[in-house]
Amino acid sequence: MHYLIYFDFILIFLYNINMKTLIVNKKYDNKKLNNFILDSFPNLSQNTLFKALRKKDIRVNDKRVSENVTIYENDEIKVFISDELLEGKLNLNIIYEDDNILVINKSTNLEVTGDNSLTTILEKKYTFIKPCHRIDRNTTGLVLFAKNQEALDILLDKFKNREIEKHYLATVYGIPKVKKIRLEAYLFKDNKKSIVYISDTPKTGYQKIITSYKVIDENKKDNTSILDIELETGRTHQIRAHLAHVGYPILGDGKYGINEINKKFNQKTQLLQSNSIKFTFKTPSGILEYLTGKEIKL
């Protein structure tokens, strides 16, 4: 892949991948938002709509709303719900599949697990399907699933023993002086606030994290870079928080990024993609022995 082309592409395309814009017509003037959206998308479940409202994934005239507000003719409604859930279709982007595993290219605005998630969508097609790891709702890219219990047990063990290598691509603000580095720090997860904190020194309640990156492209004009990232640990929000902590926030990251910079680039979803999974098995792997050394990439 040519990374300069990729850089331009990801900036203008990723955010719009699951956004629908609607204009309120006269029929729904002075009516409730929910009725308009459900009528516009007959396959959308009320549960998914309520969840989107709770997460403020619906905007009225570019203002986030969290309740069933009244709308008026010519209002602009933006709906940030995955196409799979919005249209009720199994539009799965399968990158690799065999009798034991499935690798999906997950779109943005879609969780891996939970209600109305990628897993629940897959469960409509497969008798057994379990995710072996997770990526954030607004992180795109590869997710590995097991299609039977034996494969699941093996893969979970391989992840635990670091015999599966995962790489991510991130577009960050800033150009690192050190082009390749292995970072160690400590992470604390605040479940109540749904946020994590990073410390350079050990603290009570903090877990050690290791994040490595190398710079693969630079844009000096915009002061941005594309990083190839490898995780040795897989904590919640690790990449996003760790990069922000060392001064290179991911573009579009509303939680750990810089709002002024995100607005400058008109980027509202983090430019982070899970783009490579490599099976670096060093110990016996049973029915999955054939995967040893195999790499699956976008």
Residue positions annotated with a catalytic role: 136
Beta bridge partners of 77: 22, 60
CA dihedral sign, ordered 193, 131, 208, 276? negative
What angle separates helix 33-40 from helix 46-54, to the nearest 10 degrees? 130
Q: DSSP secondary structure string, 130-177?
A: EESS---TT-EEEEEEESSHHHHHHHHHHHHTT-EEEEEEEEEES--S
Angle at Cα 119 formed by Cα 18 and Cα 127, nearest 5°?
A: 135
Q: Quick one: tokens of 203?
A: 């603290």
Question: CA torsion sign, 135 to 54 to 263 to 268?
Answer: positive
Sequence-ordered list of residues with C-beta below 8 angstroms from that of 245, at least 6 positions apart, any chain: 185, 198
Is the distance from CB of 122 to CB of 76 less than 8 angstroms? no
